[in-house]
Chain A
């Protein structure tokens, strides 16, 4: 079945890099996504990666995709206190219009 897994918590110091990991199950997913959720709010798209790419960089964000292992990661360089939030990875299930989300990783940035 469809399942996306993430670790629940991550704590880093301000200025360090954060790496949030995700594993997914649908090997035919075309796009994989990273969303950010501020407290009490909806989700906002941070970035996405097409499945034929290994890496995508967007300012402080770097997405790495290992399609063989079905592993996705999000690296945030120079993490700031404003980056504290819950981060969700998601896959678009091929052949459907569904998006399956992970459990979310709560990132806490320590000053």
Chain B
């Protein structure tokens, strides 16, 4: 069966520090991969999605970047965190093909102080 792992679960980082959140999927190959951010009262905002290794689409201009070094690994990064980067970050995957559901990780609560 397919599983998605996201870590860490919680993170407190000072302003200006770097960030690296990792997400891996098991039990499937060539998944579509996504990073979403959930901010209070703002729902889920799609940050990045990837349909293959090295293929990253950015949805909103921001202080973050994403990389997909391996087929089932998706990394969210920042060189210098801002206070506004605080939020709940969710990784998700779906199978190739448009009409399928997305499966979510358990999320990372990031607090920038």
- Name the segment of B14-22, B40-48, B75-83 touching the other chain: B40-48
Report whether A44 and B104 are in contact in the complex, using a CB–CB cutoff of 8 Å: yes
Which 8 pairs from chain A and chain B are nearest by CB? A103-B43, A42-B104, A101-B44, A43-B104, A97-B32, A42-B106, A30-B99, A45-B101
Interface residues, chain B, with chain A CB atoms under 8 Å away: 6, 32, 34, 36, 41-44, 46, 49, 51, 59, 90, 92, 94, 96, 98-107, 109
15 A-B pairs besides A8-B41, A33-B101, A40-B107 with CB distance below 8 A are: A30-B98, A41-B107, A42-B6, A42-B107, A45-B101, A45-B102, A45-B103, A90-B44, A95-B98, A97-B98, A98-B59, A99-B94, A100-B46, A103-B42, A104-B43
Instruction: Please encode chain A, from 9 to 20, with 1 for each CB lying within 8 Å of some chain B CB and 0 for all others.
Output: 000000000000
Report whether B51 and A97 are in contact in the complex, using a CB–CB cutoff of 8 Å: yes
Report whether A88 and B98 are in contact in the complex, using a CB–CB cutoff of 8 Å: no
Q: What count of chain A residues pass the 8 Å CB interface test?
A: 28
Is A81 engaged at the interface, CB distance under 8 Å to the other chain?
A: no
Report whether A92 and B36 are in contact in the complex, using a CB–CB cutoff of 8 Å: no
> Using Cβ atoms and an 8 Å threshold, which residues of chain A touch B43?
4, 6, 88, 101-104
Least Cβ distance of A75 to chain B in Å?
Answer: 20
